[in-house]
């Protein structure tokens, strides 16, 4: 078929494009993913016992701040990565800030009381770390799906990069959901195991990206 | 916000044939221009040196050495190529290398949206300016502007793909297939263009993506590409369009009878949307949606076909 015919065809499908359309899609995907994974958390493991107590709420809030700051740092570069022409202006530097802050605070705490480190890293039970990793990844799955949908509405030209950022943001949301269930209350635990879980999600995302995002 | 600030002609650029990443780091020399004292020149050079050069997409391969850099408008500089290029960087001849500083900084008050196009006035290549104006109008729903835009894009992309595919031993028919695929991609993804962003990098990021995707699908590789081919390029964009191997209408039938019928009415028989709506007993918006979805499905289908 002649290319001119194609051009004529395309011309017939010219709907005005709203400004900020793509950003809206991404924000919607993040919101939907967040709600979905929160409901999933309630339906499966549920919030920790006695979460209403001030002490527990304080820890939930602290973990949420960490997890959501990862989401907040990861979303803008994710958005840039799905806009052709901006995909090379994506920077990792801001994204690692939450992780670095958490690690820095952990180090400060550990320097204060070196012996407490193993206890802090161990968490509430001996399998806490494993539970943390697996549940964060598990709760990241739904937001990941929503993000993949949104990314496919955009035009990712560096698929591995977009996949990695999607994994990072989804990991942050998974960590936020798990924060309600987690009973290991120490900052080193959050820095190491939450951080590792999010990194794991990022790596998985980078692996899946090229396969799932091609267009 | 990064405004398109200047086109620099680069004399000392090594273009590596690796295209996995669309930026190249390169040493750049800006000749000492008459009429400017050294300090100013140096500040330009330093600024240039720090930037990662976004390849003015693969345009530059096809047409000479025009590179786009982003920067604040007040620091914009326009340099003239040492070697004459097919893609003239200034309307006048390039006899005397010169750098002009746009001290007025007209775009410094640029805000979201249109204001950025003001800052382009003096510094930006006319092609970029025209295409961007057309694109902005298209996004607002101007069909005539869109038609003009597609025509011009087609000419550029045809040259680009023929060139690229010739380098790895494919003929113009495949290039035409790829061109059509790219046009459909540009169409269905035009919501990813931000009106504040320069247009040509957007366009060529998509074009390049489609090219690399083609390489992956066909298992071709740039390793087959001889090094010297990066330099010797003849763009033959004026060659008449040739038929692509893919029959789009046949593909369309595969996707949805309704969509192909509606498009047939609107495009081939020249009905208006409302007439087609009556004929198909659909609402006008349903006709529009049908066309839209049909084209999206077509974009997927054509990609499979080209594999």
User: In this predicted structure, what is the pLDDT of residue A23?
Assistant: 92
Neighbours of B149 (CB within 10 A): 26
pLDDT score for B186: 92
Which residues are CB-contacts of B7 (< 8 A; sequence separation ≥ 6)? Answer: B56, B66, B67, B68, B69, B78, B79, B89, B123, B124, B125
pLDDT given for residue B41 in this prediction: 40
SS3 B24: strand
Name the residue with higher pLDDT: B251 or A160: A160
Contact B248 A88 (CB under 8 A): no
Summarised one tens digit per residue, pLDDT across range A170-206 is: 999 999 999 999 988 889 999 999 999 999 999 999 9
Residue B77's SS3 state is: strand
Using alpha carbons, list the distances in angstroms from residue A115 to A110, A188, B61. Answer: 8, 13, 62
Q: Is A114 helix (H, G, I), strand (E, B) or coil?
A: coil
B237: exposed, middle or buried (C-beta count within 10 Å: 0-12, 13-18, 19+)? Answer: middle
- The residues pairing with B67 across neighbouring beta strands, listed in sequence order, are B8
Report pLDDT for B247. Answer: 67
Place of tokens 């004292």: B37
The verdict on a CB contact (< 8 Å) between A7 and B190 is no
Q: How would residue B271 be classed by pLDDT, with cut points 50, 70 and 90?
A: confident
How many beta-carbon pairs below 8 A join chains A and B? 128
Q: What is the pLDDT confidence band of residue B48, given thresholds at 50, 70 and 90?
A: very low
Give which of A4, A10, A20 to mutate to test B binding, by max B Cβ within 10 Å. Answer: A10
Nearest Cα to Cα of residue B27 among B56, B50, B7: B50
- Asked which of A84-88, B49-53, B160-164 is least confident by mean pLDDT, the reply is B49-53
**What pLDDT shows up at residue B221?**
54
**Which of A131-140, B96-105, B197-206, B228-237 is least confident?**
B96-105
Return the H-helix or E-strand segment holding B6. strand B4-9
Instruction: Count the Cβ atoms, other than its own, within 10 Å of residue B103.
Output: 9
Whether B150 and A1 lie within 8 Å, measured CB to CB: no
- Asked if A10 and B180 come within 8 Å (Cβ–Cβ), the reply is no
Question: Quick one: pLDDT at residue B272?
Answer: 74
Higher pLDDT, A80 or B51: A80
Alpha-carbon span A214 to B150, nearest angstrom: 24
d(CA B83, CA B183): 32
Residues of chain B with Cβ-Cβ distance to A215 below 8 Å are: 185, 213, 303
> Residue B206 pLDDT > 80, yes or no?
yes
Q: Give strand pairing partners of B8.
A: B67
Using an 8 Å CB-CB cutoff, list chain A residues near B147.
7-8, 11
**Residue whose pair of structure tokens reads 């020399």 in the numeric block:** B29
CATH class of B246-307: mainly alpha
Angle formed at CA B182 by CA B63 and CA B128, multiple of 5 degrees: 45
Q: DSSP letters along B143-156, please?
A: HHHHHHHHHHHHHH
CB contact under 8 A, A13 and B187: yes
Comparing alpha-carbon positions, the chain A residue that sits nearest to B299 is A215
Specify the pLDDT at position B307.
65
Q: Which residue has the tokens 């620099």?
A: B8
pLDDT at B259: 77
Q: Is the pLDDT of residue A134 over 90?
A: yes
Give the residue from chain A lying closest to B216, CA to CA. A214
pLDDT at B174: 85
Per-range mean pLDDT, top range of A62-76, B24-38, B50-64, B91-105: A62-76
What are A105-130's pLDDT values in tens digits? 999 988 888 877 888 888 888 888 99
- Per-domain boundaries in chain B: 4-115, 246-307
CA distance B253 to B258: 9
Mean pLDDT of A95-101: 91
Residue B249, CB-side half-sphere exposure with 13 Å CA sphere? 13
DSSP-assigned letters across all residues of B95-134: SS--EEE-TT-GGGG--STTHHHHHHTTTS-HHHHHHHHH
Check whether B45 has a pLDDT greater than 50. Answer: no
Q: Cα–Cα distance between B245 and B142 in angstroms, integer?
A: 31
* d(C-alpha B263, C-alpha B278), whole Å: 14
Query: Are the CB atoms for B237 and B283 separated by under 8 Å?
Result: no
Per-residue pLDDT band at A1 (split at 50, 70, 90): low
> Element (H or E) spanning B92, and its range?
none
Higher pLDDT, B185 or B250: B185
Residue contact B184–A215, C-beta within 8 A: no
pLDDT at B34: 43
**Span A27-41, average pLDDT:** 95
Alpha-carbon B255 to chain mean position: 29
Of A187-191, B7-11, B19-23, give the range with the top mean pLDDT. Answer: A187-191
Task: Name the range with the highest mean pLDDT among B98-112, B187-201, B213-227.
Answer: B187-201
Q: Which residue has the higher pLDDT, B306 or B104?
A: B306
Average pLDDT estimate for A93-106: 90
Q: Residue B221 in contact with residue B215, Cβ under 8 Å? A: yes
Q: Which helix (H) or strand (E) holds B33?
A: none
Q: pLDDT class for B245, splitting at 50, 70, 90? A: low
Is pLDDT above 80 for B97?
Answer: no
Three-state DSSP at A213 gives coil
The pLDDT of residue B167: 80
First CA to last CA distance, chain A:
22
Kindly report the nearest CA distance between residue B243 and chain A, in angstroms: 5
């Amino acid at each position: 078929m002649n290319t001119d015919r194609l051009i004529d065809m395309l011309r017939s499908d010219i709907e005005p494009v709203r400004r900020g359309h793509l950003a809206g899609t991404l924000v919607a995907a993040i919101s939907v993913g967040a709600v979905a994974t929160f409901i999933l958390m309630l339906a499966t493991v549920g919030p920790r016992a006695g979460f209403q107590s001030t002490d527990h709420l304080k820890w939930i809030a602290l973990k949420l701040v960490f997890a959501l700051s990862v989401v907040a740092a990861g979303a803008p570069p994710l958005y840039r990565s799905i806009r052709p022409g901006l995909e090379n202006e994506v920077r990792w530097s801001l994204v690692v800030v939450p992780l670095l802050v958490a690690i820095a605070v952990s180090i400060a705490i550990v320097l204060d009381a070196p012996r407490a480190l193993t206890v802090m890293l161990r968490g509430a039970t001996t399998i806490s770390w494993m539970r943390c990793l697996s549940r964060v990844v598990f709760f990241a799955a739904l937001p990941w799906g929503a993000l993949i949908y949104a990314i496919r509405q955009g035009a990712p030209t560096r698929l591995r990069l977009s996949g990695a950022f999607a994994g990072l943001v989804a990991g942050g949301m998974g960590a936020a959901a798990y924060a309600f269930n987690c009973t290991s209350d120490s900052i080193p635990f959050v820095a190491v195991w939450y951080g590792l879980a999010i990194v794991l999600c990022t790596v998985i995302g980078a692996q899946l990206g090229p396969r799932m995002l091609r267009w | 916000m990064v405004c398109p600030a200047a086109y620099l002609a680069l004399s000392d650029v090594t273009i590596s044939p690796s295209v996995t990443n669309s930026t190249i780091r390169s040493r750049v020399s800006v000749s000492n221009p008459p009429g400017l004292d050294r300090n100013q020149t140096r500040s330009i050079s330093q600024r240039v040196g720090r930037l990662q050069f976004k390849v003015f997409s693969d345009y530059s391969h096809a047409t000479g050495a025009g590179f786009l850099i982003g920067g604040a408008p007040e620091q914009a500089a326009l340099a003239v190529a040492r070697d004459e290029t097919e893609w003239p960087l200034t309307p006048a001849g390039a006899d005397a290398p010169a750098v002009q500083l746009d001290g007025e900084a007209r775009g410094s008050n640029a805000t979201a949206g249109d204001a950025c196009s003001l800052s382009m006035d003096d510094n930006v290549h006319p092609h970029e300016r025209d295409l961007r104006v057309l694109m902005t109008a298209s996004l607002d729903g101007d069909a005539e502007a869109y038609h003009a835009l597609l025509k011009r894009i087609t000419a550029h992309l045809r040259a680009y793909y023929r060139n690229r595919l010739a380098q790895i031993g494919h003929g113009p028919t495949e290039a035409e297939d790829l061109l059509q695929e790219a046009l459909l991609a540009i169409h269905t993804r035009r919501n990813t263009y931000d009106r504040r962003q320069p247009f040509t990098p957007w366009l060529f990021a998509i074009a390049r993506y489609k090219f690399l995707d083609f390489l992956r699908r066909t298992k071709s590789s740039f390793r087959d590409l001889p090094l010297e081919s990066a330099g010797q390029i003849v763009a033959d964009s004026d060659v008449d369009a040739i038929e692509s191997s893919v029959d789009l209408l046949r593909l369309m039938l595969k996707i949805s009878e309704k969509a192909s019928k509606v498009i047939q009415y609107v495009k081939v028989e020249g009905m208006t949307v409302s007439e087609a709506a009556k004929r198909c007993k659909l609402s006008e918006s349903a006709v529009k949606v049908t066309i839209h979805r049909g084209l999206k499905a077509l974009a997927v289908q054509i990609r499979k076909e080209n594999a």
